[in-house]
Structure 1
Amino acid sequence: MKRKGQINIVLKNTTKHDLTIDEASVLEEPKHSAYKHIEKELEQFVGLSSIKHFIKEIYAWIYLNQKRQEAGLKPGKQVLHMVFKGNPGTGKTTVARLIAKLFKDMGVLEKGHLIEAERADLVGEYIGHTAQKTRDLIQKAIGGILFVDEAYSLARGGEKDFGKEAIDTLVKAMEDQQHSFVLILAGYPKEMDRFLQLNPGLPSRFPMKVTFPNYTVDELVLIAKKMIHEREYTVSESAEQTLRQLLVDAKQKEYEHFSNGRFIRNLLEKSIRAQALRLLEEDDYNRERLMTLSSRDLRKAYKASNN
């Protein structure tokens, strides 16, 4: 008996883009509102070109399988659990939320909500506690997506750690309730690779492994300028050059764990506080100076970030 929302899809390898269809012709039809709403939101984000293509590809797969069912053709098996690999601030949680919304609009998920969790939400303090906590969290995610960030931390304590019990409970739910919710495990790239290697059965259960690359310096500058504009601030040309220099330095120092958009947000907030102190000391509050972040403000904020 087919359950509501079951689409039956096999996604073999997202990095090789095995699907061969004319995406452009599929998306020409005005009825593709589910994708168009998501696309409109994605257009607001700087970069993420590979992720935007991935979401478009997922939509095309689901839509074409629906068409196959309507034509009486045999669809493939549905496997929608995912692994997101990327540093902080690369958009993993935001994309998970958009995918949940897309799946709801297409009838794949009943509710389309996102439950965010980390190790503390899954792992208990005594034997049997972890399984119950994990099952309770899965129950809350039914009809939507369970998003576990820093998922590799579930395996950090070895065989005797309660994290293993959480993993086993998640794996069982993926099999028993595979059409009721989608599980997304997320974390740093190298740590997630090691995590998946610890359990031979895990990689095959997550056929979609998506890498979120670090933003380039140009992309980070665009993100910063958008944030600055939204806060009704501005930067001079010299301050923008300073920002570029600071970003190059930060990316080199912290490449594997660089926090991308989060780094920009924190830097700007500290720069605004530095500007406030500077203007207070200078006793000058005209409109232009109230709006302008200087190179000095940015350097002071960056120095504070490294202390």
Structure 2
Amino acid sequence: MTTEFETLLSRAIVGDTKERKAFADYCRSNERYILALEWYRRLADAGDAEAQYHAALLYHDGKGCPLANTGKAIELLTRSAQSGYQPAARKLAEITGVAHDEPSNDDTPPDPDQKGPLTFRDVAFKPTDDGSFCAEIVSNEDFTNYNAAYDTGYPAAADQEAQDPSYDYDRGHYANIALTIHEPDAEDDPYARLKGLIGLSDLKTQLETIKAGIQFQARRADAGLATTTSSNHFVFVGNPGTGKTEVARVLGRILKESKLLSRGHVVEVDRSDLIAGWIGHTALKTEAVLERAIGGVLFIDEAYSLAQGSGYDFGDEALTTILKFIEDRRTDLIVVMAGIPTQMDALLASNPGLSSRFRHKITFPDFSPDELCQIFDKFCRDNDFILHGDTWPALRTLFREAHKYITPDLGNARFARNAFEAAIENMARRVIRNDDPDLKTLYFSDIPAFADLKTGKPRSSAKLLV
């Protein structure tokens, strides 16, 4: 059942100023000050006077931020008061000691020895030896750091960036997230690349069906007929090393050529790229990642980890944000959730909204021993090596023996890659030892023994491949 928090959060993410203010007010009234301050600050940056006022109060009281920040509070109150928001003007007067401009019948001349009320300049700027003022906010670093480390338990403001370098503490959003982004190669033929992938015959058929559906809708649109916008998000299910990431990259290029995506890039993330350290920040961080993926594919590896945990877990917040975002933005974005079979099934069962929005489930089977031999051969050809004829029996023996072991630990194509790299190391020792001029040909003796590559436990006899 959707909670009030989730409902308001979903509306705030895609809604207008009113919806965002309502969510910020809800967080403040329920003492979720970190999240309240974040959303008030967003509105304040957009010039909302009421939000500037509420953000200032939180800064002044040290709620939602590591330390009370009077300077920031005064700055926001000043902006709000200049916009005519009277509560801000009154609070500014209370903090700075500057009284309201009210009419007075008192004609008594001012006492020259009596100091007037503090002004903004008195509070915010530091006096120099000659009596002038320099543009430096009053602060005492030693006192601030002492309070931060010993009194409040929070780190000093200077250390905030070290906590989460992806968060922009000045602007209040995750603008600095370092993401792995794969841009499509304009000269690369995605269909030829897909065809060149070893195995995955069922996958290729599914992608052809999806492509036909996209082209069909495009033709109906050209003919002036009504079209339907279907959900084209994917679940990739398979053990490690079965090609999920590679296919996601090809998918971005194919969907760009089909005009379903404007850019075709692939943003590759895992749980750590979506989850933030503070309650409420996960929604903001996940939304920032989704925005970076617009025009392409967001590939979430090990997506099942978002549903793991007990009680209130940040992963639930990320899933809620993703589902709401793709529901309200049904074009120019494809999300792919990937992971191992059993845990991905558990993820889909944990949230009914996932199954309805991620209609395409593509299974990546484990590679057979013969397919692993082909992958090994492809590594050789791609890296300018040649397999001598006597290596094939050794390769088949190696990969058949490997299939007696649990595939998630073995790694499928990753195991083939490890075997290839070990073979090159063996070849290097042989060539240098014998001063062999042939730098390209791999021989039987270069193929590693399985015992040197074994990772995992024996399979049950029912799972053995002949």
With the shorter chain as reference, the TM-score category is: 0.7 to 0.9
Q: CA deviation at 1:96?
A: 1.3
SS of 1:201's equivalent? helix
**Aligned position for 1:155:** 307
Q: CA deviation at 1:141?
A: 0.4
Name the count of aligned residue pairs.
269
Q: CA deviation at 1:166?
A: 0.9
Moved over 4 A (4+): none
Q: Which amino acid aligns with 1:83?
A: V
CA distance in 1, matches of 2:410, 2:356: 29
Verify: 1:305 aligned to 2:453, yes or no: yes
**Aligned position for 1:286:** 436
CA distance in 2, matches of 1:50, 1:130: 36
Verify: 1:220 aligned to 2:220, yes or no: no
Q: CA deviation at 1:84?
A: 0.6
Q: CA deviation at 1:222?
A: 1.3
More displaced 10-residue stretch of structure 1: 141-150 or 105-114: 105-114
CA distance in 2, matches of 1:158, 1:204: 24
Q: CA deviation at 1:187?
A: 0.7
Mapped contact 1:158–1:164 kept (Cα < 8 A):
no
CA distance in 2, matches of 1:232, 1:108: 37
**Aligned position for 1:78:** 230
Q: CA deviation at 1:258?
A: 4.0
Verify: 1:247 aligned to 2:399, yes or no: yes
CA distance in 2, matches of 1:257, 1:83: 21
Q: CA deviation at 1:143?
A: 1.1
Mapped contact 1:151–1:187 kept (Cα < 8 A):
yes
**Aligned position for 2:245:** 93
The aligned runs of 1:48-87 (5 Å cut-off) are: 48-87=200-239
SS of 1:253's equivalent? coil
Relative distance call for 1:110 and 1:235 in structure 2 (3 A) is closer
Q: CA deviation at 1:296?
A: 4.1
Verify: 1:275 aligned to 2:424, yes or no: no
The aligned runs of 1:12-31 (5 Å cut-off) are: none
Given the alignment, which residue of 411, 415, 436 partners 1:263?
415
Deviations 1:11-68 (A, max 9, x none): xxxxxxxxxxxxxxxxxxxxxxx9x943222232222211221221111111111112
Q: CA deviation at 1:279?
A: 4.1
The aligned runs of 1:153-192 (5 Å cut-off) are: 153-192=305-344
Mapped contact 2:270–2:303 kept (Cα < 8 A):
yes
Deviations 1:198-239 (A, max 9, x none): 112211111111111112211211111121123233334443
Mapped contact 1:188–1:257 kept (Cα < 8 A):
no
Mapped contact 2:290–2:298 kept (Cα < 8 A):
yes
Q: Which amino acid aligns with 2:278?
A: Y
Mapped contact 2:276–2:282 kept (Cα < 8 A):
yes
Q: CA deviation at 1:286?
A: 1.9
Q: Which amino acid aligns with 2:331?
A: H
Larger Rg: 1 or 2? 2
CA distance in 1, matches of 2:231, 2:211: 14
Q: CA deviation at 1:275?
A: 2.6
Mapped contact 2:191–2:254 kept (Cα < 8 A):
no
CA distance in 2, matches of 1:56, 1:250: 32
The aligned runs of 1:79-158 (5 Å cut-off) are: 79-158=231-310
Relative distance call for 1:255 and 1:88 in structure 2 (3 A) is closer
CA distance in 1, matches of 2:424, 2:364: 29
Verify: 1:197 aligned to 2:349, yes or no: yes
Structure 2 unmatched runs, 5+: 1-185, 456-466
Mapped contact 2:402–2:454 kept (Cα < 8 A):
no
More displaced 10-residue stretch of structure 1: 206-215 or 173-182: 173-182
Q: CA deviation at 1:102?
A: 1.8
CA distance in 1, matches of 2:316, 2:409: 25
Mapped contact 2:267–2:299 kept (Cα < 8 A):
yes
Q: CA deviation at 1:77?
A: 3.0
Relative distance call for 1:92 and 1:48 in structure 2 (3 A) is same
Q: Which amino acid aligns with 1:267?
A: A
CA distance in 1, matches of 2:225, 2:236: 32
Verify: 1:39 aligned to 2:188, yes or no: no
Mapped contact 2:431–2:437 kept (Cα < 8 A):
no
CA distance in 2, matches of 1:77, 1:180: 11
CA distance in 2, matches of 1:229, 1:106: 31
Mapped contact 1:134–1:169 kept (Cα < 8 A):
yes
Relative distance call for 1:158 and 1:178 in structure 2 (3 A) is farther
| Greater relative contact order (Cα < 8 A, sep 6+) | 1
